């Protein structure tokens, strides 16, 4: 989320359903619900030496690796709430898909070695997804 002044923090809140019926034009009631929050993922201080300042929600802070598959709606909002007359919001839609399973029965993966399956969260094109990356050790 880009902010025009570096005077507030940005809070990222997550919902399991879209809170804005007409994307781009939230109502006062929708903004009030978003600012009341659901699950707070992180509160960050905008960075940059000049406007626009940028607030970033990292994969680690959002804890996407431990989040159940589904579609989530994350909103970047001012913190603290400046009141009804100043409630900007930025919506981010995140879709998490199931990870594939690897099953090995009655045998080894490789002689004198092992495979370590590490959960990774990857992001591309503004979206996030879950994936696994096998690491082979000998």
The reported pLDDT for the residue numbered 60 is: 87
pLDDT for 51: 81
Query: What average pLDDT does the structure give for the chain?
Result: 78
Residue 110 within a domain: no
Q: What are the structure tokens assigned to 114, written together?
A: 């092992």
- Asked whether the beta carbons of 14 and 70 are under 8 A apart, the reply is no
Is 117 part of any domain? no
* Domain assignment of residue 6, given as a range: 2-96
* Counted domains in the chain: 1
Q: Does the residue 116 lie in any domain?
A: no
The pLDDT value given to residue 73:
95
Longest dimension (CA), the chain: 66
131 falls within a domain: no
Which pLDDT score is estimated for 20? 95
Q: Between 59 and 111, where is the model more confident? A: 59
Structural domain contains residue 108: no
Q: pLDDT by residue (tens digit) across 77-109?
A: 999 999 999 999 999 999 998 876 666 666 555
Return the pLDDT at 111: 53
Domain-embedded: residue 119: no
């Amino acid at each position: 989320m880009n902010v025009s002044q570096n005077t507030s923090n940005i809070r990222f809140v997550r919902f399991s359903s879209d809170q804005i019926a007409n994307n781009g034009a939230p109502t006062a009631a929708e903004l009030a619900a978003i600012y009341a929050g659901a699950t707070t993922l992180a509160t960050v201080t905008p960075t940059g030496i000049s406007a626009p300042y940028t607030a970033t929600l990292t994969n680690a802070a959002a804890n996407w690796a431990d989040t159940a598959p589904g579609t989530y709606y994350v909103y970047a909002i001012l913190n603290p709430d400046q009141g009804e007359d100043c409630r900007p919001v930025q919506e981010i839609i995140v879709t998490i898909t199931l990870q594939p399973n690897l099953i090995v029965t009655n045998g080894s993966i490789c002689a004198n070695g092992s495979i370590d399956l590490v959960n990774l969260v990857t992001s591309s094109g503004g979206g996030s997804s879950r994936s696994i990356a096998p690491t082979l050790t000998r």
